[in-house]
Structure 1
Amino acid sequence: MTQPLLDLDGHTDVPNDRVAAIVTYLQVLEKPLAGPRSDAVRLVPVPKPDLGWYRDLYRAIGGDWLWTSRLRLSDDALAAILHHPDVAVFSGEGAAGSVGIVELDFRVPGEAEIVFFGLRPEATGKSLGAAMMARAVDEAWRPGIGRVWLHTCTLDHPAAVKFYQRQGFRPYKRAIEIFPDPRLTGIFPRSAAAHVPVIGS
């Protein structure tokens, strides 16, 4: 008898060269009331973003949280997503230039996914996140949209779920994600994401 891939009532070992996270999915099914607005941050559309610019910003924002999905893609695969007419990328612009990123995916009719949302580490703690999310939600609620959703996980900032709930999102599903530890594949240095121990060698 083969061992189940996932023990739903106990513990399942994760190989040492991989990391695991619990993913929480959240959604909004009607346009929320206007959230906080601030001139300290703007969302600037970036049509067909340069892949180097995108990867640099993505890496700066996601390094401490082990964001890797976009960094594992080839140029062609990444361009196919970011340059798709139903995908919109925005730079969160503050006084110091690009401080954040918002990526919206409208490829499924009737819904918008906030695929990535984040601020550079030096821009956090300055009340920019809520204002940037309010603008992101405004951009997501285009005509014909009836659902806006996103996901976060236990590798992200510990306040992420509460932050999204404060913006009106409600959790509706959980999943388990297991992927190669990017500090062992060379995507990030071993010092990244110190809250997640490196076990493999």
Structure 2
Amino acid sequence: MMLADGMHDVPPGKVATVVTHLEMRARADLSGRAAPHGWTLRRVATPDLDWYRQIFQAVGEDWLWFSRRFMSDKDLAAIVHHDDVAIWTLSKDGTDAALLELDFRTAGECELAFFGVTSDLIGAGAGRFLMDVAIDQAWARAISRLHVHTCTLDSPQALGFYRRAGFVPIRQQIEIAEDPRVSKGYDTALAPHVPIFAP
């Protein structure tokens, strides 16, 4: 359905966002950036579900990531334990502070499903290093497309970061979803850049 030009009301208890889909059709050049000092890249082969939910929250709750937080164990395990889903983090002194998730379940392509670092690593070069890992690991397989999407709930730097990494915007959508601060018990202080319209 095509939206008519003009303003459209967002129902109370919901959030609206502009989602930008991007893709890479050939392997981009890597920056050669190293991991931040003291941090080690770690592949998480079969992630514990509690660990996954914790790192998902630590990386994404400021941006209202919620899609994986409230999945059943069965549904979450079906994704993160799948042979064609690969997950990495950055670790230091027993602390994990990043989430990189590549999804190869569609033949011939890879989705950069989740990507981010905690506030401790912002500005330390961790994002560029993780993007090099993502590009290297994705194109090591027989794919013709690496794709990702970001939205206006995410960091305002995200879209520019993906474009600088070699992704090209191909599509935009408007998404309306339940505001997890209203419906899921998220802290109402999260994502102050997004107003809450409670029912």
Letter in 1 for 2:157: A
Find the counterpart in structure 1 of residue 102 from structure 2. 104
The alpha-carbon deviation at position 78 of structure 1 amounts to 0.4
Instruction: Return the match for 1:124 from 118, 122, 125.
Output: 122
TM-score under structure 2 length normalisation: 0.93
Q: SS at the partner of 2:196? A: coil
For structure 1, the residue ranges without an aligned partner over 5 or more in a row are none
Find the counterpart in structure 2 of residue 196 from structure 1. 194
Q: SS at the partner of 2:82? A: coil
Question: Are the equivalent residues in 1 in contact too, given 2:35–2:41 (CA < 8 A)?
Answer: no
TM-score under structure 1 length normalisation: 0.92
Per-residue Cα deviation, 1:100-131 (whole angstroms, up to 9, x for no partner): 01011001111000000000012101121111
For structure 2, the residue ranges without an aligned partner over 5 or more in a row are none
Instruction: Return the match for 2:11 from 15, 22, 25.
Output: 15
Per-residue Cα deviation, 1:154-174 (whole angstroms, up to 9, x for no partner): 000001110111111111111
Within the alignment, does 1:29 sit opposite 2:33 as a pair?
A: no
Instruction: Return the match for 1:115 from 107, 110, 113.
Output: 113
Q: SS at the partner of 2:67? A: coil
The alpha-carbon deviation at position 143 of structure 1 amounts to 2.8
Question: Are the equivalent residues in 1 in contact too, given 2:17–2:153 (CA < 8 A)?
Answer: yes
The alpha-carbon deviation at position 142 of structure 1 amounts to 2.4
Alignment length (residue pairs) = 197
The alpha-carbon deviation at position 7 of structure 1 amounts to 3.1
Within the alignment, does 1:164 sit opposite 2:172 as a pair?
A: no
Q: Is the alpha carbon distance of 1:44 and 1:26 closer, same or farther for their aligned partners in structure 2, counting shifts above 3 Å?
A: same
Q: SS at the partner of 1:122? A: helix
RMSD: 1.6
Question: Are the equivalent residues in 1 in contact too, given 2:35–2:126 (CA < 8 A)?
Answer: no
Q: SS at the partner of 2:197? A: coil
Distance in 1 separating the partners of 2:77 and 2:185:
19
Find the counterpart in structure 2 of residue 82 from structure 1. 80
Letter in 1 for 2:17: A
Distance in 1 separating the partners of 2:30 and 2:3:
43
Percent identical:
42
Instruction: Return the match for 2:151 from 150, 153, 157.
Output: 153
Distance in 2 separating the partners of 1:9 and 1:95:
53
Q: SS at the partner of 1:183? A: helix
Instruction: Return the match for 2:183 from 178, 182, 185.
Output: 185
Per-residue Cα deviation, 1:35-55 (whole angstroms, up to 9, x for no partner): 232142543211120011011
